[in-house]
Structure 1
Amino acid sequence: MAKSIVKAIKLVALALLFVSGIVSCEGDLEDVGVGIVDNGLFETQEFSSNVKAYNQNDLEVKANRLGQYLLGIYKNNDFGSLDASIVGQAAFLSTINFGTDPAIDSVVLNIPYLATRDAEDNEDGSPKWELDSIFGDQSTEYTLSVYELNTYLNTLDPENPGEELDYYSDETYLFKPTALYSGAFKPNKNDTISIIQRKEIIIDEDTMEHDADTIKESNSAPSIKLPLNTQFFEDNFLTNPEVFESQAAFIEFFNGLYLQASKINPTDDTSIMALEFQRSKMIIYYTNTVGEERTKQTANFYFNNVNNNTYIRDYTDSKAKPFLDAPNTIDGDTRLFLNGAAGSVALVDLFVDEDLDEIRSKNWLINEANLILYLDESADLSILPERLFLYNYEDETQIADVVLGSEIFGGYLERDEDGNPWRYKMKITNYISRILKEDDPTELKQLAIKVMNASDIPNEILDLEVQDYSWTPKGIIVHGSNSENAEKRLKLELVYSEKK
């Protein structure tokens, strides 16, 4: 708790300094700007400053309370393979009572895809869907298995009971060896309906035809539907009614589910998908006796409490491996490998071999400052991120330009005149202006460049802490600060004004 309090105090103090620095800096620039306009005493010049950047393997990231959860196996030549599993704690909204003489018909784990509805429907009038955020070969099957979790998932941190517990992508979990489901799987955009056979309700005595329910989501969107072992739930859920009297008792009794993907053939190129697993549910379809009749019932269990992703990376035979195993921390790397989901980042030192005091004494007015990264010509563009992010690596805090306006900061992928991916440009004018102030300059710190995650953008001006999340598997190779192509080396490019 003490550590958390100290961190909070530091962030508050940093925020106050940050805001006061912005106000002071803006005031200084405003005064200088008046002089430029009125007197014409300044001329514009350009300056290119050396930068040192090298690769850093990001071994773990926070992997609970995510916007999206990854599931599957994906491999490419640039970054090797990524194996993603999901851990989920099941919970119910209200007390469950299976009633008199219950019998389970079916148990289905329903996981919605990320999908977009097409403007045009199918010929039969049914909605047409396209699956989003799936990377790799969607046509190749892999084995998808679901196990009973054998690790209790705490909601609160045992060392700091007033705080939620963080889970990380390199956590290991125990699970029961017998799978509740295991079968060949590949993404299917037409998976929109479940047929539930009600084995205890007969609708035709002559043919012994049983009743069946056709289940479709209200929005008719596709979802993964995995039939779990009904005998397990008969033996465990129906014979222990006392565990459903409270949420705590149930979670202690049934820790949750562990979802794992594995290749059918080791050489297969398979896929990985992003899912909003927190919208998933486990549905128990059962029949009980009400009065003198057998009646169809359902019990829903949700996964909106504690979920976690695990990422296993294997860089064997990838382009990234030699750079991550032995980054050139002295001279900088020739190539930078930027990849999300506990992948890799680039650490950046600005003003290498520059005399900062001398530059500050010139009292430059910084009109624009940019870090520009050029794509490596051999990079795999199939998982190309549309945006990169820059932050203070030493303090894990935002830089001024991002807080003042992330759209101004940029970091977006730019394309050349032929429409081909070309470079990323990050505008850090305010940050550099504060570094180069002659009076009370901001201390120069090591920065980091990463694939942007949705959680990276601050919600308000005092939101300075960079969240340690990354759930996108996208990645790109760019020229480093020591590239053999001098024109495409990572540099800090300044446009400034000074007195004539």
Structure 2
Amino acid sequence: MKTYKFALRTLSLLSVLTLSFVACEQDFASIDSDIINPDTATNFETDNTPYSVITYTDALGPVQTDNLAINFLGVYDDPNYGETIGNIVTQLRPTTLSPDFGSGAMLESVVITIPYFSRTTGFDDNNRPSYKLDSIYPYSEDDTYSSIKLSIYESNYFLRDFDPNSSFGDVQNYFSNGALSENEMISVADLQFEPIDIIDELEISNDAIVLNSGEDNETIQPPAIRLEYTDPSSDAFQFWQTKILGLPQNANELSNSNNFNNYFRGIFFKAESVSSGQGSLIGLNLSSDNANITLTYSQDPEEEGDERPQNTYVLRFNGNRINLLNNNFTNPITDGDPNNGDSKLFLKGGQGAVAKIKLFNGDEQEFENFKTTYANYDNETDAFVSYRRLINEANLIFYVDEAIVRGEEPSRIFIYDTENNLPLADYFLDLTIANTPIFSKPNHLGILERTENDFSSNGIKYKFKITEHLKRLIENSSTNVTLGLAVSGNVNLEEIIPQRNVLGQPEIQVPVSSVINPRGTILYGSNATDPEKRVQLEIFYTCLSSDEDCQ
């Protein structure tokens, strides 16, 4: 138990340090704005100028969902869009190849364990850790979630590693609708090849899993889906007995990974709502060391009359894995107007929608006027020479359409370069990285401002600082690329994981943090009827002595 207490104290210290660092960054920004302003500057003139942008919705086709860091299982009724159902198909990997089950091997139990994402919050009366669940939708302050119906099947579809249609040996992409390409689809019949078990009501609990309670070898595991089968007459028990222990000794099917993958092609987890309009979408950690299927078996003893010795055979979810997403939207998403902009922007994670942003209306002449207003360039080479006006801060502010949005909007959205499929320069210069992703990169990717200081209150606006992005456009004569805007589930991922493909839209890639967040929101666009809510690029600058036109 001392280990749990030490871990909790360490986590608490890290949380305090992280929050303190974020607060320091925010205080510094405030002080900086007070130092340089029209009332305090004596040698410089400061001002701000708004510039027009065009923003519009870009509806997405099926998104690439293979081998994600988080997989969703269940049913989520987004109040702003409608229902999303998450199912998972995954290969299995045995931890032991060519196992020796011994003479007279008999299955004793099968346990399927898949951890939730969770964090410790303290200790209960029995000195066991208490947990708070994370990545389950809709959000619940007290960890009270609706049950789901869960069906488990053996899959008969071989999830190959490489694309046979590629001449370069590219890895095989899998998409949220079960497609491998526009011409190949995984069939329902293959996914539901043989039923293993049906759980009519899978309850979701934040309780720790206590094994061998009260004994000297008591162990505690974090909250998880845990299904245990010990009844030899049950269909699930018989399936595992036949599939694994029913094989002959030294069977080729268990001799190597390739043979095993062809013999046992995978498991399909299918979710349904227990009652209409209710359900939970559960973020699962299938990459965890505790995520596995453990078969406990006994074998004949060496001496007659002795107890039968027990061993385990463990299968992990380490192979190819696909998150299948089925949308039943009551509020369909359509493409917007790239020329004139939209009055509203529809953002939805998963197989949903992103928005596009054209700074300076995407007009080359407006962009050139901006550059020459802020900098001097060599007439012959068009190379940057010096600043005329120094950019102190540049912001894009997006307002939530509070008249339409009915809660459950994401705390973070992500802005990125759609042509190079990368974060902006400001992302890499914002060094605020938190263990809890909601607090990472707050200077560049502002956290949703809400009506009250809690995650359940309604959102008001998001603010993005893109100062460094504009400076590089000026100094490096860079292209004024179209920017993207997407829901984010973890802004930390965008630095290390490439963006994901969209089926049938080869010109589009989406941030991986958008794929793993099912939430959606609706924002005012650049063509909003209320001019106060329209998206604008606002630039705060300092007039330098070289700029004679600067007022």
Q: Compute the TM-score of the two structures, normalised by the length of structure 2.
A: 0.71
Please tell me whether residue 482 in structure 1 is matched to residue 527 in structure 2.
yes
**Aligned partner of residue 410 in structure 1, secondary structure:** coil
The 1:217/1:415 distance shift into structure 2, 3 A limit, reads farther
**Aligned partner of residue 221 in structure 2, secondary structure:** coil
Please tell me whether residue 348 in structure 1 is matched to residue 373 in structure 2.
no
- Distance in 1 between the 2:533 and 2:68 partners? 35
Contact 1:397-1:466 at 8 Å conserved across structures: no
Superimposed CA distance per residue, residues 316-360 of structure 1 (whole angstroms, 9 cap, x where no aligned partner) = x22xx2xx2252333222222222222211111111266222232
Matches of residues 76-115 of structure 1 in structure 2 within 5 Å? 76-95=78-97, 96-115=99-118
The 1:330/1:308 distance shift into structure 2, 3 A limit, reads same
**Aligned partner of residue 180 in structure 1, secondary structure:** strand
Please tell me whether residue 359 in structure 1 is matched to residue 375 in structure 2.
no
Q: Which of these residues, 478, 502, 519, is aligned with residue 442 of structure 1?
A: 478
Q: Which of these residues, 441, 445, 457, is aligned with residue 410 of structure 1?
A: 445
- Distance in 1 between the 2:222 and 2:191 partners? 31
Contact 2:46-2:542 at 8 Å conserved across structures: yes
Matches of residues 190-201 of structure 1 in structure 2 within 5 Å? 190=207, 192-193=209-210
Match of 2:221 in 1: 220
Match of 2:494 in 1: 457
Output the amino acid matched with 1:423. K
Please tell me whether residue 251 in structure 1 is matched to residue 298 in structure 2.
no
The 1:116/1:404 distance shift into structure 2, 3 A limit, reads closer
Q: Which of these residues, 231, 255, 274, is aligned with residue 238 of structure 2?
A: 231
Match of 1:423 in 2: 461
Contact 2:107-2:295 at 8 Å conserved across structures: yes
Please tell me whether residue 180 in structure 1 is matched to residue 180 in structure 2.
no
The 1:382/1:415 distance shift into structure 2, 3 A limit, reads closer
Q: Which of these residues, 67, 72, 75, is aligned with residue 74 of structure 2?
A: 72
Match of 2:423 in 1: 398
The 1:194/1:125 distance shift into structure 2, 3 A limit, reads closer
**Aligned partner of residue 332 in structure 1, secondary structure:** coil
The 1:492/1:253 distance shift into structure 2, 3 A limit, reads same
**Aligned partner of residue 240 in structure 2, secondary structure:** helix
Percent identity for Structure 1 against Structure 2: 27
- Distance in 1 between the 2:50 and 2:121 partners? 48
Give the CA deviation at 1:40: 7.1
Give the CA deviation at 1:144: 0.3
**Aligned partner of residue 537 in structure 2, secondary structure:** strand
Contact 2:211-2:219 at 8 Å conserved across structures: no
- Distance in 1 between the 2:336 and 2:129 partners? 50
Output the amino acid matched with 2:273. K
Give the CA deviation at 1:109: 1.3
- Distance in 2 between the 1:326 and 1:125 partners? 54
Output the amino acid matched with 2:225. I
**Aligned partner of residue 252 in structure 1, secondary structure:** helix
The 1:411/1:217 distance shift into structure 2, 3 A limit, reads farther
Output the amino acid matched with 1:47. T
The 1:223/1:357 distance shift into structure 2, 3 A limit, reads closer
- Distance in 2 between the 1:215 and 1:308 partners? 40
The 1:425/1:310 distance shift into structure 2, 3 A limit, reads same
The 1:152/1:134 distance shift into structure 2, 3 A limit, reads same
Output the amino acid matched with 2:369. E
**Aligned partner of residue 249 in structure 1, secondary structure:** helix
The 1:216/1:452 distance shift into structure 2, 3 A limit, reads farther
- Distance in 2 between the 1:400 and 1:313 partners? 34
Give the CA deviation at 1:414: 2.8
- Distance in 2 between the 1:237 and 1:490 partners? 59
Give the CA deviation at 1:281: 0.2
Q: Which of these residues, 145, 150, 154, is aligned with residue 151 of structure 2?
A: 145
- Distance in 2 between the 1:255 and 1:215 partners? 39
Give the CA deviation at 1:179: 1.6
Please tell me whether residue 378 in structure 1 is matched to residue 397 in structure 2.
no
Question: Structure 2: which 5+ residue stretches go unaligned?
Answer: 1-40, 180-185, 230-235, 376-388, 432-440, 498-508
Give the CA deviation at 1:234: 2.2
- Distance in 1 between the 2:55 and 2:100 partners? 60
Match of 1:127 in 2: 129
Q: Which of these residues, 538, 547, 550, is aligned with residue 493 of structure 1?
A: 538
Please tell me whether residue 304 in structure 1 is matched to residue 321 in structure 2.
no
Contact 2:208-2:221 at 8 Å conserved across structures: no
Match of 2:337 in 1: 328
Contact 1:44-1:497 at 8 Å conserved across structures: yes
Give the CA deviation at 1:48: 0.9
Q: Compute the TM-score of the two structures, normalised by the length of structure 1.
A: 0.78
Match of 2:284 in 1: 275
Match of 1:289 in 2: 300
Give the CA deviation at 1:456: 4.2
Contact 2:65-2:174 at 8 Å conserved across structures: yes
Match of 2:119 in 1: 116
Give the CA deviation at 1:379: 5.1
- Distance in 1 between the 2:319 and 2:86 partners? 20
- Distance in 2 between the 1:217 and 1:112 partners? 19
The 1:425/1:125 distance shift into structure 2, 3 A limit, reads same
Give the CA deviation at 1:273: 1.0
Q: Which has the higher strand share?
A: 1
The 1:283/1:255 distance shift into structure 2, 3 A limit, reads same
Give the CA deviation at 1:164: 4.1
**Aligned partner of residue 260 in structure 2, secondary structure:** helix
**Count of paired positions:** 433
Give the CA deviation at 1:481: 1.2
Matches of residues 46-57 of structure 1 in structure 2 within 5 Å? 46-57=48-59
**Aligned partner of residue 65 in structure 1, secondary structure:** coil
**Aligned partner of residue 296 in structure 2, secondary structure:** strand
Contact 2:349-2:520 at 8 Å conserved across structures: yes
Matches of residues 156-175 of structure 1 in structure 2 within 5 Å? 156-158=162-164, 159=166, 164-172=171-179, 173=186, 174-175=190-191
